[in-house]
Structure 1
């Protein structure tokens, strides 16, 4: 039997699980089948890879050697596969743009702008609430560009090997029912929302921790946070069950008033990401320019944000190349 990559993955899984039983469960195999496979691998390599004991398995000296090689070989093969996917996409699908995005108005607006400036391009979209998932799709060559964001100055996922460029930085606003007493105010102090329940869309960054910290600085802990989809957040606000957190570009919505938080305790960075090895510089520059235009349009369509920007002028919003 010749050693294959799947055999190295099996050995790694056993070492990580610490027992054949747990490894079999993780690999979706019956334990006798995994034991038989391990014996075949050991015969091919000329010795035992693990010592079996009452409390599990432990790698032998030969096993440690194999595991050490696997730590280099498996990531290298994965990277080769990803590079091949990116190369194939670049060579054969130059007129195809696969865009990903989280919740918000920018992805749809970006699609509309790109189809205007590049009508020959075949634009497709994928959505996810997880920025990490979008970064993984970029890394694996399953997306060309992703519109996402991070709280404050937090680094986006995959920053070491992906390119992330800032589209704009927005203040985080609060959503109130039109009849809420604070909806008449030009801005709302976080401390005035002490007794409210909250609604927000989910995310996998640090926003929830930053919000909790901002509330603590204002002298309270939030009573409850409903993490749900955008439509449900809006409904909870409209019926007065909660107040919501939203980006300042949140579109004008019947029954809902958006107001800035005094002192801007929370900000959101809109980002465009791509893999530099898979995209031409001119294509990335075009998509980034259109993403910034999409944000400017979304800001103009939000009455509350337009008012906030008018009061603060150009300093109220920044976007960097």
Structure 2
């Protein structure tokens, strides 16, 4: 699903609570997103992620974000957009630390301590993500993802699958009608209840495949769902199956962030510039353009200490990877220093001073 951006506006009447967006445009957004939520995750081959949209709750906007009436209106639209389609089923968060939000059952417990096992809970979350994104996975695909090198038809692999599946089934629990969110495996392979989603599917439902065609409220709502780098802090043994997905996520999130950043700069929306740059830098710290965008956004906000902190952070990163700054970075730092910004001593050489 792609939400197109139509940049028309209308004067809000007393009965219409969303200034800055037409009734027809809002209706299109809400109907499309509600339909996406209702259809859940579509079936797909076990060796490819299902590209179906779904929605969850976005993180609240920082108090410093809304710097203009236009920006505040977009923030309100973004919040309304997500609030209207909040799912009732568990959501697997993969845009940041890996975890399950809204699990209805009990997390795995370590036998030795009788307390929740964080390691097994993380492995359950990884399995949940895998099964949502690869619905109908075969025993072979399941085994290869979590026990690479094991024979899928061997007794050890079967026992391992049964144990992990049982833990996830108890963890996710049941819906209001008593149906398990992780049904027993059947002829159609391993799959979760269609209502279980990931925040990544939410993001894709909001942004679509072309960020330039998404509405600004949809971009804002989508980027507020990003809580860190994809699969942040996850153990490699839990997400070996996600290498290609990780690359796609970084590329699409970064593209959406730069799209919002460009629009926000043109509209003078400093808060959205900060949001976009922060997300791009978080998901891809090797992207020097994202660091520059953050520095420029904070300078536009008058956050002099944050500018200095970011410049020092970029200097430290470049030093760690033994890389020279790009010409655009050197030029930006030189301009800021000419404007009276104080940089750390380490930047003297890098800025060409």
* TM, length-normalised to structure 2: 0.26
Structure with a larger share of its residues in helix = 2
- Structure with the largest fraction of strand: 1
Larger Rg belongs to = 1
